[in-house]
Structure 1
Amino acid sequence: MRSFKRIALLCGMSVLLAPAAWAENWQVAKNEEGIKVSLSEVPGSKYKAYQGVTLIKAPLAKVQALQEDVVGACKWIHECKLQKLLKQEGGEVWTYTQFNTPWPVTPRDSVLRVTTKKGADGSITRELVAEPTYTPEEKGFVRVAKVEGFWKLVPKGDSTEVTYQVHTEPGGSVPAMVANKFVVDAPFNTLKSLRTRAERN
Structure 2
Amino acid sequence: MYTRQKALQIAFYLICLLAFSCFSAQAQWNLEKETNGIKIYTAESSTSPVKSVKVEAVFKGTCQKIISILKEVEKQPQWVYATKQAYLIQEISATELLYYVETALPWPARNRDAAVRMTIEQTPADKKVIITTIGEPEAIPAKSGKIRVPQLKGIWQVKEVADGKINIEYILDLNPGGSLPAGVVNLFVTKGPYETFINLAKLLDN
When the two structures are superposed, what TM-score results if normalisation uses the length of structure 1? 0.87
2:87 to 84, 104, 115: 84
Confirm or deny: 8 A CA contact 2:47 2:175 kept in the other structure. no
Aligned pairs (5 A) from 1:121-136: 121-136=126-141
Give the CA deviation at 1:104.
0.8
Aligned pairs (5 A) from 1:1-201: 18-23=19-24, 24-90=27-93, 91-119=95-123, 120-157=125-162, 158-200=164-206
Please give the secondary structure, in 2, of the residue aligned with 1:84.
Answer: strand
- Tell me how far apart the structure 2 counterparts of residues 58 and 122 of structure 1 sit (CA, whole Å): 12
Confirm or deny: 8 A CA contact 1:115 1:128 kept in the other structure. yes
- Tell me how far apart the structure 2 counterparts of residues 173 and 21 of structure 1 sit (CA, whole Å): 28
Structure 1 95/17 Cα, relative in aligned 2: closer, same or farther at 3 Å?
A: closer
- Tell me how far apart the structure 2 counterparts of residues 88 and 166 of structure 1 sit (CA, whole Å): 23
Confirm or deny: 8 A CA contact 1:22 1:43 kept in the other structure. no
- Tell me how far apart the structure 2 counterparts of residues 16 and 136 of structure 1 sit (CA, whole Å): 26
Structure 1 15/189 Cα, relative in aligned 2: closer, same or farther at 3 Å?
A: closer
Counterpart amino acid of 1:141? K
Which sits farther off after the overlay, 16-25 or 133-142? Answer: 16-25
When the two structures are superposed, what TM-score results if normalisation uses the length of structure 2? 0.85
User: Computing the radius of gyration over CA atoms, which structure comes out larger, 1 or 2?
Assistant: 1
Segments of structure 2 that go 5 or more residues without pairing to the other structure are: 1-14
Q: Deviations over 1:104-159 (max 9, x none)?
A: 10011111111111135121111111101100011111111100121122111311
Counterpart amino acid of 2:50? Y
Please give the secondary structure, in 2, of the residue aligned with 1:74.
Answer: helix
- Tell me how far apart the structure 1 counterparts of residues 146 and 110 of structure 2 sit (CA, whole Å): 6
Counterpart amino acid of 2:21? A
Segments of structure 1 that go 5 or more residues without pairing to the other structure are: 1-13
Counterpart amino acid of 1:40? A
Structure 1 173/62 Cα, relative in aligned 2: closer, same or farther at 3 Å?
A: same
Give the CA deviation at 1:44.
4.7
- Tell me how far apart the structure 2 counterparts of residues 18 and 62 of structure 1 sit (CA, whole Å): 27
Q: RMSD over aligned Cα, in angstroms?
A: 1.7
